Amino acid sequence: MNIAVLGGTFDPVHNGHLAVAAVVSEKLSPVEIIFMPAGQPWLKKDRLITQVGNRLEMVRLAIRGNASYKLSTAETDRSGPTYTLDTIQELSAQISPPGELYFILGWDKLAELPRWYKPGELIKLCRLVAVPRIGSLVPDMTALEKLLPGLSGRVILLDKPEVDISASVVRERVSLGLPISHLVPPAVEAYIREKGLYKSSPSM
């Protein structure tokens, strides 16, 4: 069985995340998609992240009923900033041939990969599945290969889905009292309303 990790703060999880999971599931079938909420991502140390319990519960609600989708608390269980490499190292030990380990990320994040923590070690342990996002340019693989040798042979570059949803837009719309039913699963919307999340500030 292949395993594909879909990481992120999921603050909140939204329909774009689910669209990505669906496309990757079709592309890599059979595959298990692991939704991996981050604890305190080191690249977002300057932003307050919603309490872990709330983010985990929203993911649980979003993926409920899909046997191929799993929730992992591996990163939220760690203290301090979390690094993708730590997670991938743990998961790689659980993969038996001929299964492969994949890490899903956006085109924009792929372009930033050389800035990540020990990216050279990361691409040795897993293949990357890069998905488009509205407004993002196709990654310049030639330039990235120069910065991170070996990268081009470890990337699957997809041309769909073109995700035009961001968690920041969801948070902002909630703070302004605008509808989000077209952006998140119904159960997630109900949870956000019930817990009063994102009302105080669009940046939270």
- Helix or strand holding residue 104 (H, E): strand 101-106
Mean pLDDT of 117-139: 94
Q: With bands split at pLDDT 50, 70 and 90, how would you rate the model's confidence at 11?
A: very high
Instruction: Kindly tell me if the per-residue pLDDT of 202 is higher than 70.
Output: no
CA 115 to chain centre: 17
Instruction: Kindly tell me if the per-residue pLDDT of 44 is higher than 70.
Output: no
d(CA 162, CA 95): 30
Q: How many CA atoms lie within 13 A of 35 on its CB side?
A: 28
Q: 103, 95 in Cβ contact below 8 A?
A: no
d(CA 171, CA 154): 34
Kindly list the domain boundaries of the chain, sorted by start residue: 2-165
Paired tokens of 124: 């040795």
The CATH code for residues 2-165 is 3.40.50.620
Q: What is the pLDDT of residue 57?
A: 98
